Amino acid sequence: MTSTAPDLSTELAVMKAAERFKHLHGVFGPRVVATTSFGLQAAVSLHLIHYHAPEIPVVFIDTGYLFPETYQYIDELMEKWPVDLRTYTPQLTAARQETIYGKLWEQGKEGNEKYALINKIEPMNRALKELGADVWISGLRRSQSSTRLNRPFAEQQNKTLKVYPILDWADAQVYAYMAQHNIPRHPLADSYVTMGDWHSTSPAEQGVEAESTRYGGEKYECGLHEQSNQSDFQI
């Protein structure tokens, strides 16, 4: 039985992605959930879950600030692979937030941190508590940004064990898998290299790294995967 995050990382390192999903469900059962952003490459993990571990609930944090095309993409993917999707929203609607706080994403570091807390971190903590989960599967990959280069396959964040089954996949492997399995592309895939809320995601420009297209180039992580966020994700 896996006992620590380093032990689990060692086990997962020698497996293929499909085996990792099966293994995680087999070891942790109802204690495990996955998340999806329905971003540019999120369909890969959804496809793997649908075919190899369909019992795993998939949490989707709907901030209310996604691109219209993302919501269209959600409908398209859910029709193809109806995973056990659990949608969570912030306790304050977008309109209510802006009435109280203004446009937080325009208020520098402090505003962005409050935005992340309201729209990402609190709903995710609530999802973990309500679903009784302490193991969280994410589609994080090392090649996505410099902030993810040194991630292990599993890491402990307070009471939550975070696991990344496709961590070692390069972009080329992702695109090859999507082509092989006829996975639909996000409608904005030709214009964007990353995908998030409409106000914090910019179209790609030639020669500009993906990290520069999020939050005006100030940061890449939305708050859910910042390694310094050690006060979050407790159940």
For residue 46, count other CB atoms closer than 10 A to its CB. 21
The pLDDT value given to residue 150? 79
pLDDT in tens, 189-198: 998 888 889 9
The pLDDT value given to residue 230? 44
The pLDDT value given to residue 151? 87
Tell me the mean pLDDT in the region 92-109: 95
pLDDT in tens, 223-232: 565 554 444 5
Q: Alpha-carbon distance 225 to 130, whole Å?
A: 20
The pLDDT value given to residue 210? 52
pLDDT in tens, 29-73: 999 999 999 999 999 999 999 999 999 999 999 999 999 999 999
- Catalytic residue numbers read 222
CB within 8 Å of 124: residues ≥ 6 apart: 35, 59, 61, 88, 224, 232, 233
Q: What is the DSSP letter of 89?
A: -
The pLDDT value given to residue 232? 55
The pLDDT value given to residue 229? 47
Give the chain's domains with CATH numbers: 5-186 (3.40.50.620)
Reported as a pLDDT band with limits 50, 70 and 90, residue 211 is low
pLDDT in tens, 137-195: 999 988 776 666 778 999 998 899 999 999 999 999 999 999 999 999 999 999 888 88
Asked if 73 contacts 108 with a C-beta cutoff of 8 angstroms, the reply is: no
Percent above pLDDT 70 for the chain: 84
